[in-house]
Structure 1
């Protein structure tokens, strides 16, 4: 499963250790550091990217899934303190029962068994990402154990256990060294993330487009309506028609667009998930989206005005899309036997170029052209995620995926686009070859926390 879903270079460790308490983690790390035994921490192992699997045979997998306590929920300061094994489904159901006015920032599309902190530390996206920003902005603090045995508290918690109300710590902050580190800088034993209001008024507004440029530009116009419309549209995401096709077994569905056109699936589309405190507020947001769509169709920016129209969703479709947590990513394994998310952060106004380029390369290598794009922080950034559907039972398919991955990575880096959760054999070497000074100081930070280089060796171009 690791190879077919989470990463192509997964290997087998010598053993799996499952601690229950912070002190157990501390003793394990001291013991392993003294003996220079590799330790690869995972929160639960259900990542959809490249970050979790052991990349070099041997050593210990430190499985944090038994550390699954919900420690504190503070509604006034709007945060939750949890352990790394707390899952999306666990925290969502707990808050629904005990704190129904608030929701946790779980990853939209990640299954209930995925962990909250795993996505947060990876700086992923949540169900309110378009309104509130990426998970890195929502993470407020952490308790981290390093191989020397020290226990660090990040953010305002560094001051003798003060409340985690301030992420930036005491003077120069160390917190950023943890984010995106893929388990190389320490083992998180507690984390703090923001929680958000859970209003009763919610719906989905969807628009069809004929091309990714119109999708990009109409969405950007609405994203600029900050302190209002753009903050109400908490999750703004879309893509192309193969997103529908590849959710079914390859031999059971047609592969040409004509079939999907007949059943009402647009070539490209964008969904705006609208949350509001009142019906009046929600009606205003929906009306504004319609008005801006009509205005955009008449503008010089619009390439195919006849194809821009509201995609009327069935109430069951809206209900399904609003359900959290959901399992919308899982069906992509039905197409063949494996799937891989290769995700890039780029400026929103370059997302159409990304989609056109990447889809052309997917087609060249014989993969379906599956493209998903979502707004981050009101279209300041885009998270662009080609979904590579392949047959994990065929060794030649692994090679085909990586050949495609190498070609696209070189192009994307030249454009200044940044991979999130970099692959250790493709993205990281290519990225750091263009940022040598950055890598030099990243290694110095690594040596400060982990002088014997035991934590997740091979990640991020670190020994």
Structure 2
């Protein structure tokens, strides 16, 4: 446990009310993960309000060799929890200012604690013609910065790419207390309008770093136009190959801001399995007979347009692509979508990902789910589907998984949604075994995990890329020579040498 003298020193920096060693509070920070299962409990939680307070905390922690795990809200990826026992959980949620919006250069500057709900509401009130790139399906209390630093996806990822592609600059406090800005922001007096800055790009060192290089205190990222005409076009397919190839032909026309879907299992996956089993609704044919028609595979194309005519043109283009594939014998169709389902998808922020937590919940125990996120070429999407359907049942999981387009089908986000019993050690063990086995298979295909779990994906990836890992450690030792920043994450624990 951390020495009381350190606790008192931190109270002098941020105030008594914003430092706690209460075990229930410390444990509560571990319970938020949806991207990892392995977390340790910090010795102390500190909640700074300013960059200056962050700076003082890091200088003190660095001098005393106290580990620091920074967290914005803890709801974006779940990787912002300690990988080694003890140390500081640096909760940045009080730093919640929207600092600037520039609709000419089209960027915004926010602090770590700015939530998806707060920024979306702010734009609807003050800048209704623009949108911030909030994540799709994430809770409104998740942070914009957390998802961005994890290189996650947004409501416009199919058109503009993942969150990291939109970053223009960062303000970072290093363990030494030094403060740097990246991009054009590095030049005193300059606006954060240009990512590549005044020399080699430093921004990338902090994207996907999981807090191992420093504490990001400001984010400058792009904003995009909010179109007045919107629709959801639902496509059904008979095979993963049709999902992949028909969707790609539409995506090559640069149609869709968010394009996502997967197998029919996504439909029952948002309900409780126990109740579905009683009703016999875990069989697609029975589901179609008792409920409504669902295709074997599906993709939602969320389309935006400046005018009604432009919207109709996109709808017609999708129809033309579908008709061409039908002539080739594909079981592809445009399906009706219930108005409530359409409204749910178009609503931002939405919570479409949250119900999967209830799938394995019963009257006897709670549920749980783990998102295991991979980036792969779009032309590998069908293979990803087949592998999920092969391996998930082998470990006792229904084949609930999700795929989405990045940059008009240039890449794919593939994500097994592993629904399990979080209170059953055997169920947790099965999750880890599934993840280990499929990670080997996915890495063999050349696919990348973009939110690597500390003790599974990171070691596996870096074992295959020793030169890259060696260079990464050199950067780590340069920026954090005492190894205090999130030790253990990304398979880096230089705190222990």
Conserved? CA contact 1:72–1:80, under 8 Å: yes
The alignment partner of 1:118 has SS state of helix
1:236 matched residue in structure 2: 259
Shift of 1:211: 1.3
The alignment partner of 2:241 has SS state of helix
Encode CA deviations 1:197-243: one digit per residue, 9 max, x unaligned: 11110000111111111000001111222xxxx1x411111111111
1:189 matched residue in structure 2: 217
1:356 matched residue in structure 2: 386
Equivalence map 1:293-442=2 (5 Å): 293-299=322-328, 305=330, 307-336=331-360, 337-442=367-472
- Asked whether 1:14 is paired with 2:14, we answer no
Shift of 1:2: 2.5
1:277 matched residue in structure 2: 306
Equivalence map 1:81-230=2 (5 Å): 81-225=109-253, 230=254
Report 1 or 2 for greater relative contact order, CA contacts < 8 Å, sequence distance ≥ 6.
Answer: 1
Corresponding residue to 1:292 among 321, 324, 333: 321
TM-score, normalised relative to structure 2: 0.89
- Residues 428/361 of structure 1: CA separation in 2 closer, same or farther (3 Å cut): same
Query: Which has the larger displacement, 323-332 or 244-253?
Result: 244-253
Structure 2 distance, partners of 1:335, 1:314, is: 22
Encode CA deviations 1:105-131: one digit per residue, 9 max, x unaligned: 000111101100111111111111111
Query: Which has the larger displacement, 310-319 or 276-285?
Result: 310-319
The alignment partner of 2:171 has SS state of strand
Structure 1 distance, partners of 2:80, 2:394, is: 29
- Asked whether 1:259 is paired with 2:286, we answer yes
Corresponding residue to 1:249 among 256, 272, 276: 272
Encode CA deviations 1:74-106: one digit per residue, 9 max, x unaligned: 011111100011000000001100111111000
Conserved? CA contact 1:241–1:260, under 8 Å: no
Structure 1 distance, partners of 2:269, 2:420, is: 10
Conserved? CA contact 1:132–1:377, under 8 Å: yes
TM-score, normalised relative to structure 1: 0.96
1:28 matched residue in structure 2: 57
Encode CA deviations 1:398-443: one digit per residue, 9 max, x unaligned: 1110011000011111110000110111101110000001000100
Structure 2 distance, partners of 1:412, 1:132, is: 25
Query: Which has the larger displacement, 320-329 or 232-241?
Result: 232-241
Unaligned segments of structure 1, at least 5 residues? none
Structure 1 distance, partners of 2:137, 2:189, is: 34
The alignment partner of 2:350 has SS state of coil
Structure 1 distance, partners of 2:80, 2:265, is: 27
Encode CA deviations 1:226-272: one digit per residue, 9 max, x unaligned: xxxx1x41111111111111211121112221233231121100111
Structure 2 distance, partners of 1:28, 1:298, is: 65
The alignment partner of 2:304 has SS state of strand
Conserved? CA contact 2:33–2:78, under 8 Å: no
Conserved? CA contact 1:43–1:115, under 8 Å: yes
Shift of 1:161: 3.8
Conserved? CA contact 1:3–1:392, under 8 Å: no
The alignment partner of 1:5 has SS state of coil
Encode CA deviations 1:26-80: one digit per residue, 9 max, x unaligned: 0000100111100000111113x45222121100100010000000000111111
Pairwise CA RMSD: 1.1
Shift of 1:6: 4.2
Conserved? CA contact 1:37–1:60, under 8 Å: yes
